[in-house]
Amino acid sequence: MNQLEKITLKFKIGRVFTPSAPIDSAALFAGRTAQMARLMNAASQRGQHAVLFGERGVGKTSLANVLKDFLKPHSGFVIVSTNCEATTNFKAIWTNVFNELVVIEKEVGMGFNPPTHIEASSLSERLSDNPSPEEIRQFLQRLGKPVIVIIDELDRIKDQEAIPRLADTIKTLSDHSTDSTLVLVGVADSLDSLIEEHRSIDRALVQIQMPRMSPAELREIINKGLKELAMEIDSFAARRISNLSHGLPHYTHSLALYAAQAAVDRDSMAISQDDVVEAIKSAIENTQQSIKRKYHDATSSPRGNLYSEVLLSCALAETDELGYFPTANVRKPMSAIMGKYYDIPAFSRHLSDFCEPSRGAVLQKTGYPRRYRFRFVNPLMEPFVVMKGISSGLISADILDSEKPVIHSPSAETPLLFEELESVSEN
My answer on whether 81 and 176 are in the same domain is: yes
Tell me, yes or no, whether 81 lies in a domain: yes
Note whether 256 and 405 are same-domain residues: no
Residue 321: CB partners within 8 Å, gap ≥ 6?
209, 211, 212
**Residue 229: Cβ-neighbour burial (10 angstroms; 0-12, 13-18, 19+):** middle
Backbone angles phi, psi at 415, to 5 degrees: -60, 145
What DSSP string describes 242-278?
HHHTTT-HHHHHHHHHHHHHHHHHTT-SEE-HHHHHH
25 within domain boundaries: no
Kindly write down the DSSP assignment for every residue of 371-396, as one continuous string. Answer: S-EEEESSTTHHHHHHHHHHHTTSS-
Residue 148 within any structural domain of the chain: yes
* Residues 58, 194 share a domain: yes
Domain of 136 in residue numbering reads as 33-209
Q: Are residues 309 and 250 in the same domain?
A: no
Q: Are residues 183 and 239 in the same domain?
A: no
Full pLDDT tens readout for the chain, 427 residues: 889 999 999 999 999 998 877 766 666 677 788 888 888 888 888 888 988 888 888 888 888 888 877 877 666 788 888 889 999 999 999 999 988 876 655 555 566 666 655 555 667 778 888 999 999 999 888 887 888 899 988 888 888 888 888 888 999 999 898 889 999 888 665 566 566 656 677 788 888 888 888 888 899 999 999 999 999 999 999 999 999 999 888 999 999 999 999 999 999 999 999 999 999 999 999 998 999 999 999 999 877 689 999 999 999 999 887 789 999 999 999 998 998 999 999 999 999 999 999 999 999 999 888 889 999 999 899 999 999 999 988 888 776 665 544 443 444 444 444 444 444 434 3
- DSSP code of residue 415: -
Question: Same structural domain for residues 204 and 56?
Answer: yes
> From the CA atom positions of the chain, what is the Rg in Å?
25
Cα–Cα dist 329/312, whole Å: 12
Partnered with residue 104 across adjacent β-strands are 120
Clarify whether residues 227 and 100 are in a common domain: no
CB 314 within 8 A of CB 376: yes
83 shares its domain with 169: yes
Residue 26 lies in a domain: no
Where does a domain end: 153, 178, 209?
Answer: 209
CB 244 within 8 A of CB 386: yes
Residues 50 and 155 in one domain: yes
Same-domain check for residues 85 and 205: yes
Q: Is 50 helix (H, G, I), strand (E, B) or coil?
A: strand
Read off the pTM: 0.78
* Terminal Cα distance for the chain, rounded: 57
Q: Give how many domains the chain has, as a whole number.
A: 3
Euclidean distance between CA atoms 64 and 367, whole angstroms: 32
Regarding whether 270 and 197 lie in a shared domain, the answer is: no
Q: In terms of domains, do 193 and 225 share one?
A: no
